[in-house]
Amino acid sequence: MKRLAKAKTAAEQANLIVEYKIPYTIAVGAIKQLTPTVLAALIHSMSPQEVINNLKSIQSRGAMDHPEVKLLIDSKLDEAAKCDRVSAYKASVAGDSANFDAATTAKLEAVTNEQVKKRGKILKATGLLIDQEGSMESAIEVGKRLAALISGISDAALFVYAFDTMPLSASKRQRIDRLGARIQAHSRWWRHQLRLRGGSNAD
């Protein structure tokens, strides 16, 4: 770490990163300015999953603005689609967490799609229950992603139920309808009927 912090040139920093396999999160804390050379060394040393996990941070440091570095990122995302040790859920979350360019977003969606397909197929109708109370915003976000993931491997109907403990008023019905639209928009390959019902007893 001390040698990395004291390194005077980007080439020296890059060599240290590659030689000692310094993790991205440690390197960014030791180096004041990440040049394209250093970014390329870091990304080269990262696994596809590490690139996905840190993609928003990598973007914020200008990596996407340099064609050579962007090509390296793209190659890691292509590798992630084929790798057995990549989380489809984390790829989905990464795709929602920042404003990536269309090509990067498409690659993240491809990673999610390919990883989900590897887990097999759902052959029976499936129901997903989502608590839509105001205090359960995190549950709604998780529900959106799960619905999108399930739809990618389901050959049967998928039913998404948003519920609370009280009968739905008109305002709540509108809120649930918006949730349904958000779930549908979340996945390009959403192809199943969406039904939403209120109340704690979902038939």
* Tens digit of each residue's pLDDT (9 = 90 or more) over 72-122: 999 999 999 998 889 887 887 787 766 899 999 999 988 988 888 887 788
State pLDDT tens for residues 170-190. 344 455 455 555 554 443 333
In a domain, 38, yes or no: yes
In a domain, 201, yes or no: no
Q: Is the dihedral of CA 50, 52, 57, 59 positive or negative?
A: positive
Q: Are residues 79 and 113 in the same domain?
A: yes
- Considering just the CA atoms, what is the radius of gyration of the chain in Å? 21
Q: Are residues 13 and 107 in the same domain?
A: yes
Count the Cβ atoms, other than its own, within 10 Å of residue 170: 7
Question: Which of 12-16, 30-34, 186-190 holds the top average pLDDT?
Answer: 12-16
Dihedral pair phi/psi, residue 123, rounded to 5°: -100, -10
Is the Cβ–Cβ distance between 4 and 17 less than 8 Å? Answer: yes
* Count of domains for the chain: 2
In a domain, 199, yes or no: no
Residue span of the structural domain in which 176 resides: 126-186
Q: Are residues 92 and 148 in the same domain?
A: no
In a domain, 30, yes or no: yes
Q: Are residues 57 and 109 in the same domain?
A: yes
Dihedral pair phi/psi, residue 76, rounded to 5°: -70, -40
Q: Are residues 62 and 143 in the same domain?
A: no
Q: Are residues 58 and 108 in the same domain?
A: yes
Q: Are residues 86 and 136 in the same domain?
A: no
